[in-house]
A and B are shown apart, each in its own frame.
Chain A
Amino acid sequence: MTVTPALDAKLAEDGPAISGLKPGIDPISDAAAGQWTLIWRKFLNQKVALFCGGVILVLYLIGAFAEFLAPGLPDTSRAQYTYAPPQSLGLFTPSGEFQLHVKGYKVEIDKAALRRTFVVDDSVVIPVGLFVEGPTYKFWNLFESNRHLIGPLDPSQTMYLLGADRLGRDLLSRLIYGTRISMSIGLIGVCMSLFLGVVLGSISGYFGGWVDTIIQRVIEVVSAMPTIPLWLGLAAAIPLTWSPIHVYFVITIIVSLLGWTGLAREVRGRFFSLRNEDFVTAAKLDGSSERRVIFRHILPSLTSHILAVTTLAVPSMIIAETSLSFLGVGLKAPVVSWGVLLQDAQNIRSISTAPWLLIWPSLAVVIAVLSFNFFGDGLRDAADPYET
């Protein structure tokens, strides 16, 4: 606050009582609010983080309802539509009536290059509808359905909103199915490194001494090794004969094996600063066991910080999976993830024929990573509500 001394003196005499709180905050409800209410209120002030939290939620919802949201199945291939370019969604047909539609293709043979090129054919209108019947899927492996959010009214016709790949598969459907795999790997991986990081970090920070030294040395070694060579080395050892679901879990473990060090460091640092606080001494004098002191007294007061650091660790997991799959040692087809999709955009020739194969999966990765970063930053700022 910048107040001139004279004004200050006047206020002290007959002005209203000055509160250190920002205007608009009710001091009584703020003083009575619990830690989590305060964190929530502080977080609500961060518009960017809030927005990114929304984006993350949407991404997970897309992943959860992939079967319904995708216009088709991820593996349906149509050889005659190899590298078909994206079709744009139109509202009014050439005859002027309102009808959601895409335009059809006309195939032209480029005589010089001996290549087929697709040209949008304005005379062919493929009507598109919402909640249409399409290919049958098994939702969450529980029940069968054939409703899709969007799709051509006649299932035998084609709609490639984001274009097609080398086998004429719909990129939009594949991207939506890939969201499920890529986003869940980030989540499961981070849970595993959270477990490792919290357990080892707490032990290290609480006990100190030689236990701390050993754990710190391990962290140092792991974090000093360049990640991609190490990931490659671990992932390449996965036998080719393993089932996709097996590979999925091993990749999650590999990704989390290298991600826990940052978390462990954070937890250890906080433990060091809390170890000598009065409430810890009090708990010890009350005869609490060491396990109880760690898990009942110290850890709960760290939860908000741990949550923030965990969120900030998710993007590196997503990037790890994407990189590994892109290089061909991570997830492999028939599994669809963003990294697997990017595998199709590996060389300049396929990128220049079909740039959408690079653009859309990359955009998905970047949006996910950015959202997690901003969301985590916001959480971190809100994590300590008593800080002024």
Chain B
Amino acid sequence: MLNYILKRLVYMIPTLIGMSIISFAIIQLPPGDYLTSLLSTLADGGSPIDPATVERLRSQYGLDQPIWIQYGKWMLGIITRGDFGFSFEWNQPVSEVIWSRMGSTLAISFAALILVWAVSLPIGIYSAVRRNSIGDHVFTFFGFIGLAVPNFILALTLMYVSFRVFGQSVGGLFSPEYVDAPWSMGKLWDLILHLWIPILVIGMSGTAAMIRILRANLTDELSKPYVTTARAKGLPEYKVIVKYPVRIALNPFVSAIGWVLPELVSGVTITAIVLNLPTAGPLLLRALVAQDMYLAGSFILLLSVLTLVGMLISDILLALLDTRIRYN
């Protein structure tokens, strides 16, 4: 098992390098470098800098060097010192801005993933066992809606509905009176009231996809002879279903994290922008618009790493679930 995990870890390295190259390419994409935008901001403020200082800054940040050396420096800084570069908009190192936002992104993505699993497992089993029943059709219908409605439209709609029905504003994580209050039961309840919309929105399409996958796989399994045998032996029906076919149908369910997680992280980004949640999303958009590229690139890199770690976890879970994978 340890061997398997180590192998997966080594296997991750090229992917990581690829992701870092793409993130760095995005940093480099806008015309000019960040000194150009810094200079224009300063010039707008009426305090132009003399050319010698510009040159000094340029060599200090390594901007006069070839691109691969700049990339190397950036990576070296991240690996050795956890230094992601400097955010010009915040006038702080990127690493000081980024971690709390990444933490909340991780927490919300994780909560959404749990929701996806918790909801789609029973519904998937129900839909496969009671195929073409009314319940199955209802779930399939909602599943298609979940797949077809983009996250941000769902968020806007729920925002409007909750405003109309409950008269409650749903942006942010807390109501105004709790933002600076110390933790209490009231504050926790307030957080839960605010959190259900984003988590529902983010989890919706993933849940729909998972239900479809589980339903298809379980349907295939249910028609196999071993199920008939188990039934003929007189096992109770719930045991016939849960003990064998569901276990096998779970495999693709677990490995699906590999592509559900990037979708969730993606969903968190845009939903957070709409609902104004303190996650990576709004800050990333702001950084991109202001061309604060080191901050933006670092966010993209870290969000990608987040999905990669999720995939690693799904691989490990899969190996735990299915012995064949471990020994192949």
Contact = CB atoms under 8 A, between A and B. Distances in A.
A223 interface: yes
A269 B144 CA distance: 27
Contacts of A315: 148
Contacts of B14: 217
A226 B262 contact: yes
Nearest to A239: B31
Most buried by B among A346, A362, A373: A362
A345 B156 CA distance: 8
Interface string B290-328: 010000110110011011100100000000000000000
B204 interface: no
B22 A221 contact: yes
B311 A234 contact: no
A91 interface: no
Contacts of A224: 15, 19, 258, 262, 304, 307-308, 311
A323 B270 CA distance: 8
Contacts of B300: 225, 229-230, 233
Interface in A262-280: none
B125 interface: no
A369 interface: yes
Interface in B163-182: 163-164, 169-171
Contacts of A222: 22
Contacts of B62: none
A231 B41 CA distance: 26
Interface stretch (A8-16, A138-146, A347-355): A347-355
B284 A237 contact: no
Interface residues of B, number: 55
A312 B265 CA distance: 22
Nearest to A322: B150
A342 B160 CA distance: 14
Interface in A216-252: 217-218, 220-230, 232-234, 236-237, 239
A225 B16 CA distance: 10
A167 interface: no
A187 interface: no
Nearest to A361: B153
A370 interface: yes
Given A230-B300, A233-B29, A352 B163 contact: yes
Interface in A308-366: 315, 319, 322-323, 326-329, 342, 345-346, 348, 351-352, 355, 358, 362, 365-366
Contacts of B308: 224
Contacts of A227: 262-263, 266
Contact of A373 (B148, B157, B159, B163): B148
Contacts of A329: 285, 288-289
B82 interface: no
B160 A225 contact: no
Contacts of B19: 221, 224-225
Q: How large is the interface on A (under 10, 10 to 19, 20 to 34, 35 or more residues)?
A: 35 or more
B30 interface: yes
B216 to A, nearest CB: 12
Interface in B248-281: 258-259, 262-263, 265-267, 269-270, 273-274, 280
B26 interface: yes
B191 interface: no
B269 A373 contact: no
B49 interface: no
Interface string B144-164: 110111111100110110011
Contacts of A234: 26, 29
Contacts of B45: none
Contact of A348 (B171, B269, B280, B303): B171
Most buried by A among B147, B170, B262, B299: B262
B18 interface: yes
Interface in B28-47: 29-31
Contact of A226 (B145, B157, B164, B265): B265
A365 B152 CA distance: 12
Contacts of A365: 149-150, 153
Interface in B129-156: 144-145, 147-153, 156
Most buried by A among B30, B150, B152, B274: B150
Interface string A194-231: 00000000000000000000000110111111111110
A217 B299 CA distance: 22
A351 B307 contact: no
B284 A232 contact: yes
A351 B161 CA distance: 10
Interface in A13-65: none
Contacts of A345: 156
A234 B27 CA distance: 10
Contacts of B273: 327
B288 A326 contact: no
Contacts of B170: 348
Given A237-B30, A327-B270, A329-B288, A229 B299 contact: yes
Nearest to A363: B153
B171 A362 contact: no
A228 B270 contact: yes
B144 A326 contact: no
18 contacts: A217-B15, A226-B265, A226-B266, A228-B270, A234-B29, A236-B288, A236-B291, A236-B296, A237-B29, A237-B30, A239-B30, A327-B270, A329-B288, A342-B153, A348-B169, A358-B160, A366-B145, A370-B148
Given A229-B266, A365-B149, A369-B150, 13 more contacts: A220-B15, A221-B15, A224-B15, A224-B19, A224-B307, A226-B304, A233-B29, A237-B29, A319-B150, A348-B163, A362-B153, A365-B153, A366-B148
> Nearest 6 A-B pairs (CB), nearest first?
A221-B18, A236-B288, A237-B29, A233-B26, A226-B266, A226-B265
